[in-house]
Amino acid sequence: MAAVAVSTAALLTLTACGGDAKESGGGEAAQKKVEVFSWWTGPGEADGLKAMREIFAKQNPNFEFFDAAVAGGSGDQARALLSSKLQANQPPDTFQGHAGAELQGYIKGGKLESLNSLYDELKLKDVLPQQLVDQISVEGQIYSVPVNIHRSNVLWYNPSVIKDAGIDGAPATIDEFVTDLEKVKKAGKIPLSIGSQWTVVHLMESVLLGTLGTDAYNQLWAPNADWSSAEVTKALENFKTILSYAGTPQDDWQPAAKQVVDGEAAFNIMGDWAYGYFHNPPDGGLGKESHKDFDWAASPGTDGTFMWLSDSFTLPKGAPNRDGAIAWLKVAASKEGQDAFNPLKGSIPARTDADKSLYQDYLSWSLEEWSKDKLAGSIQHGVVANDAWRSAINDAVGLFQQSQDVAKLQEALVSAAQSNNQ
């Protein structure tokens, strides 16, 4: 009996050490995979993820980071695949979901575990803005770990191209913008670069904000908001005018943004992940110099308002490697993780206690604006509209690109709001 008891105890000890085969002399470590789902594969985007992944690897020798990223800016392909994986109850261990309405959709669908105990353990409520925690909570339960704050309403421009077109500095209003687009056209360059369809929705959100103003824009997301107003018509007319100056649509946001730093195009309205791409050293980024190869301003008519979004990581119910997912969330939540990720991603940290000296150049501007601006939420990047609503808006914009019919676009937006904003 005693012999059996001893060997059972020995077996238990061995099993407990099973993940750490190196220490028990078992050769190659039997690392357990942690599947991390995002869409950060492209130039610029992948750099931040890589930096956080290195920290994860150092801190978690028992886990192997498995990059389940699906290519395509703004997660257009990724979000569709994720939704079918979740429907089939085959979640990754953790996935990137935008704070706000998009995440609320996953929560209401019963797809996520609450992270309250992790928040307590890491004292996260003390270091995250309450406004942000509210966006990822339902009935006192918190459902994700925000890793950053991105800004959507940025006008990127090429200083030499605009100078050659006789433009003196970035346009502050929509009217000035249209005048400047015309000047660039006359000078023979692409006035405005665009990428795939989602980048056009991204452009539209900035034009809505710039035309309507912050309060009226924010009102659009309140239940029963009026999308049929004359002000919205005016905003959509502006959108049509601005879009008429767009170059040939590029495959995604990177080639469109690159046309600006290459001096082919004057302007591009894109989120500040473009900064990571422009500024990071090659091969990930383009190694460009700010104020020389590119410059930035608030998108026209939006100065003083930060149109925000936040990338956040989740713990899906039924995650195959739950412990591994929690280990990833701990890195994403940490000061070290956020300070490694964000300077390369072109975003500022969600945590309020990050090392500010790491955020220079564009990023110090963004930090400053975040601390004082009014806030508006991004449409395309999941803050104000849930996924169904966002897709309906995307479809409407896709049809508009062909028809150029403002009345039809507005009707489609009215009906998208009616069916999704109850």
Q: How many residues bind ligand GAL (CB under 6 A)?
A: 14
Report residue 54 CA to chain centroid gap: 21
The answer to whether residue 180 forms part of the interface with ligand GAL (CB under 6 A) is no
Binding track, positions 124-153, relative to ligand GAL; x by CB under 6 A: --------------------------x---
Reported in sequence order, the residue ranges of 75-229 that DSSP labels E, i.e. its strands, are 94-98, 137-138, 141-142, 145-146, 148-151, 154-157, 190-192
Longest dimension (CA), the chain: 94
The answer to whether residue 349 forms part of the interface with ligand GAL (CB under 6 A) is no
The answer to whether residue 97 forms part of the interface with ligand GAL (CB under 6 A) is no
Please identify which residue in 102, 180, 311, 369 interacts with ligand GAL, judged by CB under 6 A: 311
Q: Are 227 and 413 in contact, with CB atoms under 8 Å apart?
A: yes
Tokens 């009935």 correspond to what residue? Answer: 139
Q: Are 397 and 200 in contact, with CB atoms under 8 Å apart?
A: yes
The answer to whether residue 45 forms part of the interface with ligand GAL (CB under 6 A) is yes
Task: Kindly identify the residues of this chain, within the stretch 233-292, that bind ligand GAL according to CB under 6 A.
Answer: 253, 271, 273
User: With CB under 6 A as the contact rule, which of the stretches 4-12, 73-81, 154-162, 369-377 interacts with ligand GAL?
Assistant: 73-81
Rounded Cα distance, 44 and 343, in Å:
11
Q: Measured from the CB of residue 148, what is the shortest distance to ligand GAL in angstroms?
A: 7
User: With CB under 6 A as the contact rule, which of the stretches 5-13, 20-28, 38-46, 218-226 interacts with ligand GAL?
Assistant: 38-46
User: With CB under 6 A as the contact rule, which of the stretches 37-45, 58-66, 137-145, 169-177 interacts with ligand GAL?
Assistant: 37-45
Pick 274 or 325: Cβ nearer ligand GAL: 274
The answer to whether residue 377 forms part of the interface with ligand GAL (CB under 6 A) is no
Q: Measured from the CB of residue 271, what is the shortest distance to ligand GAL in angstroms?
A: 6
Reported in sequence order, the residue ranges of 248-302 that DSSP labels E, i.e. its strands, are 265-269, 295-298
Binding track, positions 378-397, relative to ligand GAL; x by CB under 6 A: ---x----------------
Pick 201 or 325: Cβ nearer ligand GAL: 201
> Residue 246 carries which DSSP code?
B
Q: Are 97 and 329 in contact, with CB atoms under 8 Å apart?
A: no
- Torsion (CA) 338, 343, 347, 352 in degrees, nearest 10: 50
Q: Measured from the CB of residue 169, what is the shortest distance to ligand GAL in angstroms?
A: 27
Reported in sequence order, the residue ranges of 189-288 that DSSP labels E, i.e. its strands, are 190-192, 265-269
* Count of other CB atoms within 10 angstroms of residue 20: 14
Rounded Cα distance, 278 and 157, in Å:
12
Which two three-digit tokens encode residue 12? 């238990």
Pick 98 or 258: Cβ nearer ligand GAL: 98
Footprint on this chain of ligand GAL (rule: CB under 6 A)? 39-40, 45, 73-75, 98, 150, 253, 271, 273, 309, 311, 381
